[in-house]
Amino acid sequence: MLDLESLYKLNYPMCIICSKKAGKFDGCIVNTVFQIVPEPPMVTVSVNNECLTHQYITDGRAFTLSVLAERTPLEFIRKWGFKSGRDIDKFEQAEYKTGRTGIPIVLDNAASFIEAEVVETIEVKTHTLFIGRIVACETIDEQKIPMTYTYYRDVKGGKTPRTAATFIAKKKPTDNLKQGANNMKKYKCLMCGYIYDPAVGDPESDIKPGTAFEDLPDDWVCPDCGVGKDEFEPVED
């Protein structure tokens, strides 16, 4: 038996990873980061192959990691973790500085940062492990407590996007339940692209298959990014 939920007991730091390509910057949130070698100091990070940031790291051969503090607002995490650099410019209102590799280091809500040059990549199915030799690292604010993935999920009530290495797919409904919900409209989250399908419901929030979007409780939130019902619009067939 695979009790995938038990994997939430593994803990990770919540970080913004940035890179650059052809003079343009991109960044997103990752949590699968760890140091692998003390000398020379090296870190590794797992990034989904579909993420724009993956392309940038592959091209730029370097990345920066900003370790986020516990007090980082969820709104900030949604912007960096659930929106794509293909749709918005995440650096427009961000405070950042440029590192030795020319890659931006996000300073907003950051406790520390790491800058690394890629020395090896390992492709693992849907994700790539980038192994980087650290060329700079520094504590930005001693007072800031770094946010762990467990803290993000359990204390802040944060969600995990589909592209994350730690994402757990939800169970599929039975065909019987699907049939009853066939005429109900699907709704799309404007923040992260999650689609609420009445045939599936939302098992994580105990919403049974066959529940129309209109019948969801007023305090229901997107299971992927946590925004409310007013951030959804119907999906036209």
Q: Which residues bind Fe ion (CB under 5 A)?
A: 189, 191-192, 194, 222, 224-225
Sheet holding 187-189, edge to edge: 195-196, 187-189, 232-234
Give the CB-side neighbour count of residue 179, counting CA atoms within 13 A: 2
Smaller CB distance to Fe ion: residue 152 or 194?
194
- Provide the β-strand partners of residue 137: 114
Smaller CB distance to Fe ion: residue 105 or 191?
191
Amino acid at site 12: Y
Smaller CB distance to Fe ion: residue 105 or 225?
225
Least Å distance, CB 232 to Fe ion, is 8
How many helices (H) and strands (E) would you count in the chain? Answer: 4, 12
Are 146 and 70 a contacting pair, CB within 8 Å? yes
Residue 52 burial (C-beta neighbours within 10 Å; 0-12, 13-18, 19+)? middle
Smaller CB distance to Fe ion: residue 60 or 161?
161
Least Å distance, CB 161 to Fe ion, is 9
Least Å distance, CB 83 to Fe ion, is 10
Least Å distance, CB 208 to Fe ion, is 20
Smaller CB distance to Fe ion: residue 189 or 216?
189
Least Å distance, CB 53 to Fe ion, is 19
Strands in 31-153 per DSSP E: 33-37, 42-48, 62-68, 96-98, 104-106, 110-124, 127-139
Smaller CB distance to Fe ion: residue 77 or 189?
189
Least Å distance, CB 122 to Fe ion, is 31
Distance of CA 31 to the CA centre of its chain: 8
Residue 125 burial (C-beta neighbours within 10 Å; 0-12, 13-18, 19+)? exposed
